[in-house]
Amino acid sequence: MESLTEATVLQRLRVEQIALIEHIELEFEPGLNVITGETGAGKSLLVDSLQLALGERAGAELLREGAERAVVEALFRIDAAPALRALLAQHGYELQGDELLLRRELHRRGSSRCFLNDSPAPLALVRQLGEMLVDFHGQHEQQSLLRVETHGRLLDNAGGLEALRHDYERVHAELRRTVEQLQSLQAQRHELEQQREWLRFQLRELAELNPQPGEEEELDAQLRRIEHAERLYALSMQLHELLYGGSDAVRDRLIRARNLLEELSRIDAQFAPYVAECHSLVVSVEELARFVQRYSSALEFEPEQLEQIRRRRAQLQLLRKRYGSIEAALEQKQRWEEQLRYAEHIEEHLQELQQRQEALREELARCAQRLHAKRVAVARKLERAVEQFLAQLGIPYSQFRVSIEQEDAAPQDPLWVEFNGRRCRAFADGVDRVEFLITTNRGESPRPLVRVASGGEISRIMLALKSILAKADRLPLLVFDEIDAGISGRIAQRVGQALKALAQYHQVLVITHLPQIAACGDVHILVEKYEREGRTLVQARRLGSEERLYEIARLLSGERVSPSALQAAQQLLQEALQ
């Protein structure tokens, strides 16, 4: 995974006219960003606002009283992130530089608009981008780890099993295509068997007629010659007489002209070139005369031939009316011949596809077995690591299990493999259905992670999993709310250290009431309520070193900050740096 200094991070959040917020603009940094404030001060409003910018559902009730329009902007620096850039390009958005500005506008009338770098954008796209940018922890429905469908991929990423999974996915895709082809061909079999006789009849009809390209034009020419045979004969005879047969024929005149030119050329050489030209004219006239004579001799008027030509033309006209043209009829004949060949060899095609299907099914079973074995090994390591991590976070009796099960394939399910003597469903990413199970109480059996009720425990479980899977997880920003519920003292310090370690791989934003966690932050933001002109407002600001020391001391001792609280706060800050 890329180092955090090179990763995608949230740089700025601007909120205007949301709930009790009139205007807040905050700068964030890579690493651990902590948010503190009194209970009810409005800390969660910042998280809610970020969710709005990322496409969360919104209504007019979120607007500050009296405001007609609210705006939330989240500015991200996008380095690399090829998948995110590809999604933007797919929808016609190109990043200019390395900044992505997500803006959401809410209106009193209930409408809202989304923008990507000041260009209007559909809400669905913004939500997709949000799922690629931020992982929220604190509300069950927003936690990616509480979606069972993510568990298998997280397990594979944690174990570096992407290559094995890709091998399986490639073979699975080939098997799916082969199964679809086989099913399609089997469905066509009966229809093709019925079609065979019809195809043979159509081809027999065309074969008997045997149309030829350009045949109609040739028949029309023949018909014109026969219908005008007498006129053609008379004209050709006249032409022959003019050229060759008469007493004053063109040929004889040209010969006399050639003789005169020869005599002239003997006196004056300027006439010499024209002697050859005149000779060529004589030869051309003789050739034309011979052609005319042959043509007129061949002219015959046969009524039977005329009738044959007319019948043939009528047949071709019907063919043209049916197919559009002789050429179209010949093209259709070729297609029918191919269909007939295919229909006559359908059993061979079926057998070939069935053999390919079985070969791919066997190959897929081998890929599934390899992937399953690796997953089981990675799961056992992950289980131990999570339990040890949770013990450090104050959940000593946890049992974390990675359930890896298979589903029996239904009789009609075509995508299955033989796995450990069972006919199992072959999913797109393996035969395994992976789910994370946990219990945090001694004597209880692990249950699905989604059914764990305690918000504080869920956040610590998320922290444990995120910390162990940090290098495999691709989401750049992690937001934790309620992570400190039910913990204090030594455990709080361990949670803070775990968050700081996690912040080496992700940008982390955490809302906390605990000074031990606040002391670990790279950036400290304080949220406060105040009154102005009789109205309550929420403000948020980044704290400098002196203010931060005072705020951590206040978290330790309450409103009255004593010298001993300041000293304890200084110690916490020093310990966080170690």
Domain annotation for the chain: domains and CATH numbers:
1-139+473-542 (3.40.50.300), 211-344 (no CATH), 545-578 (no CATH)
What pLDDT score does 300 carry?
Answer: 67
Residue count (the chain): 578
For the CA atoms of 35, 39, 43, 49, the dihedral, rounded to the nearest 10 degrees, stands at 160
Q: Residue 111 corresponds to which amino acid?
A: S
For the CA atoms of 382, 383, 385, 387, the dihedral, rounded to the nearest 10 degrees, stands at 160
Contact 67, 17 (CB under 8 A): yes
* Beta carbons within 8 Å of 387's beta carbon, 6+ residues apart: 398, 399, 400
Q: CB count, 10 Å around CB of 77?
A: 18
Return the SS3 of 192.
Answer: helix
What pLDDT score does 476 carry?
Answer: 86
The two three-digit tokens of residue 202, written as one number = 């159509």
- How do the pLDDT tens digits run along the chain, 578 residues long? 444 444 689 999 999 999 999 999 999 999 999 999 988 888 889 999 999 999 888 777 888 888 899 999 999 998 878 888 889 999 999 887 889 999 999 998 888 899 999 899 999 999 999 988 988 876 444 466 778 888 998 899 888 898 999 999 999 999 999 999 998 888 877 777 777 777 777 778 787 777 788 777 777 776 666 666 656 666 777 887 788 877 788 888 888 889 898 988 888 889 888 998 999 998 998 899 889 888 777 766 666 666 777 777 777 778 878 877 778 888 888 888 777 777 777 778 888 999 999 999 999 999 999 999 999 999 999 999 999 988 888 888 889 999 999 999 998 899 999 999 999 999 999 999 999 999 888 888 899 987 775 556 777 787 788 788 776 666 788 888 767 777 777 888 888 888 998 898 889 999 998 999 999 999 999 999 989 988 999 999 999 999 999 999 999 887 788 889 899 999 999 988 87
**Entry pTM:** 0.63
**How many angstroms separate the CA atoms of 184 and 342, rounded?**
14
What pLDDT score does 141 carry?
Answer: 43
Q: CB count, 10 Å around CB of 501?
A: 14
The two three-digit tokens of residue 52, written as one number = 């709005």
**How many angstroms separate the CA atoms of 116 and 94, rounded?**
10
Give the closest residue to 545 by CA, choosing from 568, 569, 561.
569
Q: CB count, 10 Å around CB of 531?
A: 8
Contact 457, 440 (CB under 8 A): yes
**How many angstroms separate the CA atoms of 510 and 495, rounded?**
11
Residue 76: is it exposed, middle or buried by C-beta count within 10 angstroms (0-12/13-18/19+)?
A: buried
Contact 346, 185 (CB under 8 A): yes
What pLDDT score does 124 carry?
Answer: 92
**How many angstroms separate the CA atoms of 16 and 474, rounded?**
30
Nearest 5°: the CA angle 325, 329, 331 is: 115
Contact 27, 11 (CB under 8 A): yes
Q: DSSP letter at 49?
A: H
Q: DSSP letter at 57?
A: -
**How many angstroms separate the CA atoms of 103 and 118, rounded?**
8
**How many angstroms separate the CA atoms of 578 and 566, rounded?**
19
